[in-house]
Structure 1
Amino acid sequence: MGDVITVPETYGLGPIEVKAINGNEVELVAPLTGSGYSVSGCSGGGSVSSNGTGGVGLTCTEGPAATLNDVMSLKVVKTLDSTAVLRIEPTG
């Protein structure tokens, strides 16, 4: 936990921080860098305070990839104890 993943600015998010791993769920938080935000496939939403700025909090589980801001795919590949393998890539 506490690991930070930097993603391209075009994804509309700042660095994504892993806040917790509970079973097959991974809790993430990231500041918003764009003017809008959308998510499909993970639970969560905006209005999370991340380093004093607006951000997003997500809870994603193992399984199908989630789509964020229609440009980024995030998949929880595997969780084991306090470790998670995430796959982040552009959509399309």
Structure 2
Amino acid sequence: MTVPATYGLGRIKVTAITGGEVDMVARLTGSGYSVSGCSGGGGVSSEGGGGVGLSCGEGPAATINDAMSLKVLKIHDTTAVLRIEPAG
């Protein structure tokens, strides 16, 4: 998924949908990175080379870089519905 440059992330790639969580990776395009609010024990880890990994379950939206809202609306087997919009 391609997101606006103002979000500070490159293309977001879903790497897995398992155990009620969606695992994603993205390249960092800004100078910093912050995330808050992932439900289901979500977390962030360094992916090397200026990238991040993010794991989120269904529930409240995560705020990324104080600019982007990412919410997992529904997970069904190996399919997920995500809502990505400006944080606000």
Structure 1 length as normaliser, TM-score?
Answer: 0.87
Any unmatched runs of 5+ in structure 1? none
Question: Counterpart in 2 of 1:56?
Answer: 52
Question: Counterpart in 2 of 1:40?
Answer: 36
1:46 and 1:54 in contact (8 A); partners too: no
Matched, 1:11 2:7: yes
- Given residue 50 of structure 2, which amino acid in structure 1 is its aligned partner? G
Percent of aligned positions that are identical: 71
C-alpha separation in 2, matches of 1:47 and 1:22: 20
Structure 2 length as normaliser, TM-score?
Answer: 0.91
Question: Counterpart in 2 of 1:85?
Answer: 81
Structure 1 consecutive aligned stretches of length 4 or more whose deviation exceeds 3 Å: none
1:23 Cα offset (Å) = 3.0
C-alpha separation in 1, matches of 2:72 and 2:59: 6
Partner secondary structure for residue 47 of structure 2: strand
- How many residue pairs get aligned? The number is 85
1:76 Cα offset (Å) = 0.2
| Residue among 18, 21, 24 paired with 1:25 | 21
C-alpha separation in 2, matches of 1:27 and 1:36: 21
- Given residue 47 of structure 1, which amino acid in structure 2 is its aligned partner? S
1:54 Cα offset (Å) = 1.2
Partner secondary structure for residue 51 of structure 2: strand
2:69 and 2:85 in contact (8 A); partners too: yes
1:47 to 1:23, Cα distance in 2 relative to 1, 3 A:
closer
